[in-house]
Amino acid sequence: MDYRIFHRDNNYPTTLNTEEIEQPYQALQAFLADIPCEVFRQDLENLLYAQFKPFGWKEYGAPANLYRTCYNVKKLLDILWLINTCCKSKDLQPELSYTERRKMQQYYRRSFKGLFNSTPTDIEELPQLDPYLTLVEFFNDISLTVWKNSINLWAYMALSSSYMFFIDEDFFGVGNNTLIRDYRCISGIISAAYQLEPVKLDTAVMQRLSFFKIFATDIDHPQSFEEMEIKEPRMVLNYVHFYMDSRQLPEVINTWRGMLASTDHWHYHTDPGNVIFIKENLVMQIETAWMLLLIEGDKTHRVRSNAKLVNPDFFPDLNMEEQSDPFSVIEQFFDSQNLCVWTELLEDWIYGSLTDKNEKALLNSRVTEKTCNQLIKLLQALYLINKRFD
C-alpha cells in the first residue's frame, strides 16, 4: 500500500472515528449539543488573546482549557469539511465574494460616520449568508490542512515551551492581520455550524463518505508524517534527540504520568508546551515503529560492525534477547494495543496532564506503570534499530 495518502499536508479528517465519518450530521449534532454557540466563540477568542501575552493561558485556568479549544475547533472543521465535500454541491456560489461582502459590511456599518455623511441610511445590514455557502467559501479560500495547521500554531504560541523562550510571535507570524482574519473566519464558521440543516445522504454520498473511513481515528494509519518521512520513516528516529537527552526519557515519561495524579500543579509550572512537545514526539516514534514493522519487520538484519555507534546508556531496560532483536519489542508493543489505541491513549494522557484535576480514573485504567515501561522499551528498541541495523 502507498502510505503517502496519509501525509499530513493532504486534506482529510484527523479527529473523527468511523461512525462520525459515516454520519457527519449526527456527529455535528452530538458534538455541538453540549457547547452553546456563544461559549464556543468565546473559547476561540480566549485562545486568540492568550497568544499575545506571556503565560496568557493562566488567565483561563489550567492549560487544558485552551488545548481542548484547539481540539474542538479542529474536530468541528473536520466535520464541516466532510459535509462540504460530500453532502452539498460545491457549485454553490454566493452573490458576492468574501472580500466584496466584507467591504460592503464595513461600508454599511460606517465606523466613521463623519466621513460618510452622505451615504444611504435605508440599508441597515447585508443579509446573512446561507450557512452552506459559508462552508463553500471557507474551504475554497483556504484548505482544511492549512486551517488546522493555523490552529496548531495558536496552541504552540498560547502554551509555549521552554525551548521556545526566544521564539516570539513574529517567528510564527501571529502578529499580523492574517491572524485576525483567521479568527473572524473561524468564528463565522462556528456560527454557521449551528445553523446547518441536514440533507439526505443518498447512495453516492454514502459511498464517498465510506472512502474517508480509511482516515478514521479507530483505524491504524500514520497521521503525523510529511510525505518524505513516509517514504523514509527511519529519518524520524533522530527527531526525539533534538531537544532532549534520550537517556532522560524514562524519567520524563514517568514524570508525565505522575502529573495525572497531582492537583494544582499548573499554578507552579509555566511551560505546558513541553508536554505537547513530548506527546507529539512519542506519537511520531510510535508511528515510525509501526511503519518499520510493516516495511522491515520480516527481514534479516545485519548488525553493523562499528560498535562506536551504539551507546549502552540508551537502552538499559532491554534484556540481551531484546537487544539482539529489537523488532520483537515493537511486535510486543503492538500486540498489546493497536496503533490507533496508543494514539488515543496519548491524547487522553496529554489532556489529563494539562488539567488541575486528579485524573486517577485515567491513571488506573489506561496510563499505568506497564504503559510507561512499554513506551520506554519501544524508544530504546528504536534507538538500536537506528544505530545497529542497515
Instruction: Tell me: do 157 and 245 sit in the same domain.
Output: no
Contact assessment for residue 195 and residue 131, using Cβ atoms and an 8 Å cutoff: yes
Instruction: Tell me: do 299 and 203 sit in the same domain.
Output: no
Which residues have C-beta within 8 Å of that of residue 99, sequence separation ≥ 6?
none
Q: Per residue in 267-294, pLDDT tens?
A: 877 788 888 989 999 999 999 999 999 9
pLDDT for 165 beyond 60: no
Asked if residue 221 belongs to a domain, the reply is no
Instruction: Tell me: do 195 and 254 sit in the same domain.
Output: no
Domain count for the chain = 2
* Backbone phi, psi, residue 191, to 5°: -60, -40
Across the range 233-240, mean pLDDT stands at 87
Query: Rounded to an integer, what distance in angstroms lies between the CA atom of residue 46 and that of residue 22?
Result: 32
- Look at residues 181, 215, 249 and tell me which one is the last residue of a structural domain: 215
Any bridge partners for residue 228, and if so which?
none
Query: Rounded to an integer, what distance in angstroms lies between the CA atom of residue 40 and that of residue 32?
Result: 9
In sign, the C-alpha dihedral spanning 275, 243, 164, 10 is negative
In this prediction the pTM is: 0.86
Contact assessment for residue 119 and residue 107, using Cβ atoms and an 8 Å cutoff: yes
Instruction: Tell me: do 156 and 190 sit in the same domain.
Output: yes
Q: Per residue in 123-147, pLDDT tens?
A: 455 556 788 888 988 998 889 999 9
Asked if residue 57 belongs to a domain, the reply is yes
Side chain identity, residue 225: F
- Look at residues 188, 215, 242 and tell me which one is the last residue of a structural domain: 215
- Look at residues 191, 215, 239 and tell me which one is the last residue of a structural domain: 215
DSSP state of 201: -
Closest CA to 254 of 380, 364, 375: 375
Asked if residue 222 belongs to a domain, the reply is no
Rounded to 5 degrees, what angle do the CA atoms 387, 324, 278 make? 50
pLDDT of residue 305: 45
Instruction: Tell me: do 211 and 272 sit in the same domain.
Output: no
Asked if residue 114 belongs to a domain, the reply is no
pLDDT of residue 133: 86
Instruction: Tell me: do 197 and 238 sit in the same domain.
Output: no
Q: Per residue in 295-322, pLDDT tens?
A: 887 765 555 544 556 777 778 888 888 8
Query: Distance between terminal CA atoms of the chain?
Result: 23
Instruction: Tell me: do 266 and 195 sit in the same domain.
Output: no
Contact assessment for residue 285 and residue 382, using Cβ atoms and an 8 Å cutoff: yes
Neighbours of 155 (CB within 10 A): 24
Closest CA to 350 of 283, 263, 268, 269: 283
Top mean pLDDT of 16-20, 83-87, 350-354, 358-362 is at: 16-20
Asked if residue 167 belongs to a domain, the reply is yes
Report the Cα 332 to chain-centroid distance in Å: 27
Asked if residue 99 belongs to a domain, the reply is no
Instruction: Tell me: do 293 and 349 sit in the same domain.
Output: yes
Q: Which one is predicted more confidently, 357 or 326?
A: 326
pLDDT of residue 112: 47
**Distances in whole angstroms, Cα of residue 349 to Cα of each of 88, 303, 335, 346:** 37, 36, 20, 5
- Say if residue 98 is exposed, middle or buried (CB neighbours under 10 Å; 0-12, 13-18, 19+): middle
Residue 72 belongs to domain spanning = 3-94+129-215
Closest CA to 215 of 29, 348, 82: 82
